[in-house]
Amino acid sequence: MNLETRDIDRIIEMAWEDRTPFEAIKFQFGIKEQEVIEVMRKEMKPSSFKMWRERVQGRTTKHSKKRTFNKGRFKCSRQRTITNNSISKR
């Protein structure tokens, strides 16, 4: 696995995001979930890695097959619409 610093930073960012599945990381960078875990272990402090693993363990949104929605982008019903860099009023 030969990744540039920029790619490693993006992989870490995507791995921390709750709703970015491991499959999206694999599609974009060609690395499997286990390899993402190895990158996280290598690049992070042990305490940060442990916190991330506890957070990700069993999280259904990190695995496409476990998600409750199939297509489209998830949007919370309480999420406000952003238009022209301003939050619309309800």
Domain ranges of the chain: 5-68
Q: What DSSP letter does each residue of 71-88 carry, written as one string?
A: SS----TTPPPEETTEEP
Residue 21's φ and ψ, nearest 5 degrees, are -75, 160
**pTM of this structure:** 0.67
Instruction: Print pLDDT tens along the chain (90 aa).
Output: 788 999 999 999 999 988 888 888 999 999 999 999 999 999 999 999 999 998 888 777 676 665 555 555 555 555 555 555 555 555
pLDDT at residue 72 in the model: 54
Please compute Rg for the chain using Cα positions: 15
By the 8 A CB rule, do 43 and 12 touch? yes
pLDDT at residue 39 in the model: 94
| CA angle at 31 for the pair 36 and 25, rounded to the nearest 5° | 75
